[in-house]
Structure 1
């Protein structure tokens, strides 16, 4: 597989360039007589395509003698061997040091003068993009294999394998997947926005927006972090790039009539993290990037090519074409990408097995973009610049006249058949409906006609209710796109009580996902638990922590509220509620000489999650977060409303949390969580803070073994601490999975948690015995997750001022389970 491939080319030759010792020469320059050029990949291979007949081509490489190869009519593959020469390119030596380093320093120094997003106040252009998943049929043998099985030297049966033959038949007629889009890019006030004018996806009437928003490669070649297939690498022209990369001057090449230095770069071997390698073509006059080839070679072979056009009026190189390609590398495990549109199978089950090549060995992803209608220093305002991507409401319904206007070339027969065949297959196999079903199941719903049944409500267990059996759901778009009804009913086998909820909502604005909601609930809840109204619904096949909880309060609540994303980069919930509360444990709240065993709370609440660094996409169905970046912040304020609807208490509560996550190129990940709360006024213990305990009050370690929580103290006993104000901090560092056996690949996670708290009015709370967190609580441990089939094991140790006298009481052993859905 090679860096570039032009499917529409009429003339094409392949080859490989080696030295005299038969060692491949990466990034050698291949030039035709009409000045078309390409370069060899890291294995010395090349493919050269042209719409005119190729009579000859020139192969050059720094330090080697240039060779001119004559093309024969019936020869498609050329093996070129270059002889080394003693003299180098003296004309490009700019100092006594490595000339490539001197050139790169000038590139870095002049970045702001050459980067369009720094030099220009504004610009706009349109882009046509086509992405295909396909294979080259000429690479596939296409034969029918047979094998015989014998028993006692007698032929038992014959196995026929025609998969290669069938795959070649399919790929000769069509691509495996295909999508097109036309976008308008606008830059102004240091922000870049993409507006998708038209989109077309084979097999789908409504496009899959997640694939459209998938970031294959950076738009700007000058970004400090260059992104390739949603992984960020230090850019070889970033301010600190020289510490990460080695550089080598390969050649001087003319690009668009201007002389350039051809510089090879590769991450330094001393750095363990994977890095980019490739070639930069640097303009010899202004030290701007005139062309760039960026590549990662690993379990997937990924390459991105940026081509530019020189604009004399603005004295800059502006993006012209980009190409992105993925082919299979060397991987032992199956890899699924683009929402499982494409799967690369593992190479072998063990080190001694040679696997027969399958379709995935020949399959590749190719995305090509062409820019046009470019305007510089425009005065056009950008509408809603906080949206990184906006998809027009009619983008998926464009006519063929629209596509013929913007396509660089008319679709060939193979691409036309791809739309026809995949559309018919999609209808026949109900692919869109099955995709919608899969999305709902992942979120915990099963659609039944106009209602989505809630899987979370079917069965659960806790120490107060026993087995909680129920049924719940919410209406879907088949019922109405603008109105919804939801509810549930549940029965506890231990407490013998029935609980239920009934609610409804009206859509006020589709683009901002604004809903006006109302509900009535009669249920129970864990005491002193913190719930952020804006937290996303998380579906778990099991939720281990509630199993161990025995202290609940019964509540009857009326609520009305507004749910919206109208503020850029936020999601907010505003709510008014009247709640009757009855603790289901021995508890009295004392206030001004009066004792309360039950009470009424009328409150107003505002909850907001703010993701200032994330990218958001505006689609015809609403606004969504396309790239989750950190840090992100959640704030929640609750205020009681005195003398309204029989409210008993006056108080305020402030809750917040900050999340941060950093992923490393070698597979490691660090995550931080800072969370806190402050309750002011007269607040009963049911609505204070317990700082997330998850340890049983049992005598031995073995008896205390349960499932671990996500962000809970595994060594803190239930109801051990209560606070009216607290601060919680957690740090986790996960290492890359270690392969022990084919199906045993555990991942080690180091965990440290700590919390501080205080109880301001302890005299108000009569009933449970508890301690405070004035001196802090500390625990550390390690998790060995996904040891086998998602199951893992963790161990935690409690230390510090609240350490217990008996050593074994400070230890907690927990079982973990991670369900990997490949998302």
Structure 2
């Protein structure tokens, strides 16, 4: 969701000046010199990129700048006011290089090893007990008007040598006219950072987003670059890469000593680094203090579909003998890619890699668009007693953060807003109102969660239509009241009709908000519906919206239930969400089944239960907003526990039993586009539990004669070769491992994703004599299947094949095979 909002703003808000020059630095053979140092008289420095190119912005007019590169003669370049592009060729030194000799090995590698060895002495989060500071951040999406030709192109069409029509291309002209007056997008933020007890917390004091009255929390929480330069994983645009100064980095990176440079009055080594596998890691430059081997400046870059760079600048603090971060800069420009990229229905154009067979496409105005985020730290305090409120939160946004007066911003801005920035707020605020952008973004949020807002009610898209073998087509209508109705009270419900069973089902519930900060709700509901037998439902599982839910299509065995429930939902315990519930449920199996309890056969029964369900995400980051607490960065592993106990002699309860259920999820994404996910799940029923409330281990295969007849849609975490109602257990453990490889391009529009899947389960049935009617097997010897999926072969559709093996393998070879269709909707996120 955060990426959806951020990219939507970045790439679809298209409707921006200081003195600037650019150029390229090469050697005598016209080969680019990456990371050459460009210096002005007022110390406004920059470096060339990997292609030798540079852009230099002047805060004040300068008459010249110098270009230096180790092993080459330094060159002084005069600035011509009418000249924008400077091709610069450096001459290699003919005398012996006077280079710092550290050892007989690669001097850069030796320096990097010393940086790694001294990290704890130089990392503020290791050396300092506490610190706090404030940050002013400004983010813009804009373009340099001088880069755009801005002419009006015309072309004519002819028929029988007569001119019939004139086409005028004025898009670049209009874009330049707009971008000269304003930015495309602009935000400002003032935050307080506090560090103590090995935890860092950000409190957003003020936030301002052009075109939006209310803050977009997903954008505020979006992590553009790592705060610390010393973490083993460095993050750029929500992707983590191996840090060039991590403990294992010397085995993965190449290093080169480029130069020695003076920064803030201290001598530093300038070291270029590049990952040995180009597609897997970062490249850039580290400026390393020659005395204490601390990072004095860092340039981190990844170049691909997007050209992304992060720059960290530091100030040396003599009293603490440490370099402390003072400024960060993050920039995105369009990179190179073979095809245009589609995000949420909009196309973003990227240059393809040029070959002999293709002509480069004409540059459009959007090719010059870039995102720039700059942060300045101030009011810094070290080792002072610091009290951090709610330290388990990663980000807290003050209730009045979006309502700060202009005096607040003038206090914290590094410089007053220029006319262009002021115009941006004025024009985008007006544009947002006219085009209802804020409302459309809110509408998009709800659609992704499976709702359509209609006035004070959000209609539930999941309730409109579905299909299963018992009800046939299930047609319905449902929804929940939204903030237009009330922020502290809600009503929800649905009604559905099965075309095959001819029965109406319904639900009605109400909720009262007890505490906004911890999202604590008191709820009550009544439900008359059906549910799959022996299925496991975790009360704290997040609602997942799918345009289709394939597995229920094949289910035919359900039980009817009438249930009164009262529960409390809360996030009061840090990094958790919990549900505590009391329920009285009347159950009537809708299949041939009797439960034998104390020599009495029950065809229906009453259960009064108490249940506690909790999900714990110890490694995730959480954000406190004025509307509640949210998981801002989902990390793994995460753990879910649930305990259910019937209450004897309470409201007519018939049986006494308890159930313990658990689930552990893990997911790891690799830099090369691959992903591994693991799932461990289990349950244990104690006492006299009917079959309806035991475990079926998620089967998803039909009892048909041939493989072709059994072709259905694949489930997400289900056994594709296990037949429905084949196995039941009173205790079980289930394990699933999936590994997805990077998408393979077969032809231009066919790029499937290969996923390897392995599943296994063990189980046991206590007191099988209690369950009269259905015939089934147990999982004492285990159940095993493996297979592969080719997802997104074309238009989201894919195909999978699975094979059953082990003790429960069937006699006929073809009965152990399942072929499944998959469909993955791709929103471009």
Structure 2 residues without counterparts, runs of 5 or longer: 1-15
TM-score under structure 1 length normalisation: 0.96
Output the CA distance in 2 between the equivalents of 1:600 and 1:180.
58
Q: Distance in 1 between matches of 2:717 and 2:346?
A: 34
> In the aligned structure 2, how far is the partner of 1:137 from the partner of 1:514?
51
1:440–1:346 distance in 2 versus 1, CA, 3 Å: farther
Q: Residue 637 of structure 2 corresponds to which residue in structure 1? A: 631
User: Is the counterpart of residue 298 in structure 1 residue 304 in structure 2?
Assistant: yes
Deviation per CA, 1:46-87, whole angstroms, max 9, x where unpaired?
A: 223333331222221111122222333433332221111244
Aligned residues of 1:387 and 1:618 also touching (Cα < 8 A): yes
SS at match of 2:708: coil
Q: Taking structure 2 as the reference length, what is the TM-score of the superposition?
A: 0.96
User: Which residue number corresponds to residue 213 of structure 2?
Assistant: 205
Mapped partners of 2:754, 2:21: distance in 1: 49
Question: Counterparts in 2 of 1:180-579, with a 5 A limit?
Answer: 180-268=188-276, 271=277, 273-335=279-341, 343-345=348-350, 347=352, 352-579=358-585
Q: Distance in 2 between matches of 1:742 and 1:382?
A: 53
Instruction: Please list, as runs of the form range in 1=range in 2, the aligned pairs for 1:561-640 lying within 5 A after superposition.
Output: 561-640=567-646
Distance 1:779 1:567 in 2: 39
Using the TM superposition, give the Cα deviation of residue 658 of structure 1 relative to its aligned residue in structure 2, in angstroms: 0.5
Give the root-mean-square deviation of aligned CA atoms.
1.7
- Counterparts of 1:686 and 1:290, CA distance in 2: 65
TM-superposition CA deviations, 1:243-276 (whole Å, max 9, x none): 01111111111001111111111111xx364211
Contact 2:335-2:350 within 8 A present in 1 as well = no
Q: Structure 1 CA distance, aligned partners of 2:763 and 2:160?
A: 77
Q: Residue 17 of structure 1: which of 25, 42, 45 is its match?
A: 25
* Aligned partner (choices 651, 670, 675) of residue 664 of structure 1: 670
CA shift at 1:352, angstroms?
3.0
Q: How much has 1:779 moved relative to structure 2?
A: 0.7
1:356-398 deviation per Cα after TM superposition (whole angstroms, max 9, x unaligned) = 2123211101000000000000102000011000000000000
| 1:79-90 matched pairs, under 5 angstroms | 79-87=87-95, 89-90=97-98
Aligned to 1:76: 84
* Superposition deviation, residue 349 in structure 1: 12
SS of residue paired to 1:90? coil
Q: Does 393-402 or 739-748 show the bigger shift? A: 739-748
Shift of 1:683: 0.4
Gaps in structure 1 of 5+ consecutive residues: 1-6
For each residue in 1:718-746, what CA deviation from the matched residue of structure 2 results, as whole angstroms up to 9, or x when unmatched? Answer: 00000000111011111111122332211
Q: Which residue of 1 aligns with 2:734?
A: 728
Q: How far apart are residue 584 of structure 1 and its match?
A: 0.4
Task: Pick closer, same or farther for the CA change 1:173–1:644 going to 2, 3 Å.
Answer: same
Q: Is the 2:288–2:295 Cα contact (8 Å) retained in structure 1?
A: yes
Offset from partner CA, 1:736-793 (integer Å, 9 cap, x none): 1112233221111111111111101100000111000011111111111111111111
Per the TM alignment, residue 150 of structure 1 is displaced from its structure 2 partner at its CA by: 4.3
Corresponding residue for residue 119 of structure 1: 127
Query: Is this contact kept in 2: 1:348–1:355, CA < 8 A?
Result: no
Aligned to 1:66: 74
| Residue equivalent to 1:3 | none
- SS of the aligned residue for 1:434 comes to helix
Distance verdict in 2 for CA 1:752–1:349, change over 3 Å: farther
Check whether the contact 2:312–2:328 (CA below 8 A) recurs between aligned residues.
yes
Secondary structure of the 1:529 match is coil
Looking at structure 1, the residues matched to 521 and 304 of structure 2 have their Cα atoms a distance apart, in angstroms, of 46
Alpha-carbon separation, structure 2, partners of 1:349 and 1:250: 31
* Aligned twin of 1:691: 697
SS at match of 2:792: strand
Relative distance call for 1:754 and 1:88 in structure 2 (3 A) is farther
Aligned residue number for residue 643 of structure 1: 649
1 CA distance for matches of 2:749 and 2:168? 29
Secondary structure of the corresponding residue to residue 127 of structure 1:
strand
Residue number in structure 2 paired with 1:751: 757
The whole-number CA distance in structure 1 between the counterparts of 2:553 and 2:354 is: 39
Residue-pair matches, total? 813
Question: Compared with structure 1, are the counterparts of its residues 755 and 234 closer, same or farther at alpha carbon in structure 2 (3 Å cutoff)?
Answer: same
Aligned partner (choices 153, 158, 161) of residue 145 of structure 1: 153
- Asked whether the equivalents of residues 62 and 88 of structure 1 are also in contact (C-alpha less than 8 Å), the reply is no
Q: 1:260 to 1:42 in 2, by over 3 A?
A: same
Residue 712 (1) aligns with residue 718 (2): yes
Alignment check: 8 A CA contact 1:756 1:775 kept: yes
> How far apart are residue 340 of structure 1 and its match?
9.5
User: What is the CA–CA distance in structure 1 between the aligned matches of 2:505 and 2:346, rounded to whole Å?
Assistant: 43
Counterparts of 1:50 and 1:273, CA distance in 2 = 34
Q: Report the more deviating stretch, 80-89 or 132-141.
A: 80-89
Q: Is the 8 A contact 1:349 1:742 kept in 2?
A: no
Give the 3-state SS of the residue equivalent to 2:486 in structure 1: coil
Relative to structure 1, the CA distance from residue 25 to residue 561 in structure 2 (aligned partners, 3 Å threshold; closer, same or farther) is: same
In 2, Cα distance between the equivalents of 1:814 and 1:533? 29
Deviations 1:596-638 (A, max 9, x none): 1100000000111111001111000111111111000111110
Take 1:555 and 1:222, find their aligned partners in 2: how far apart are those partners? 56
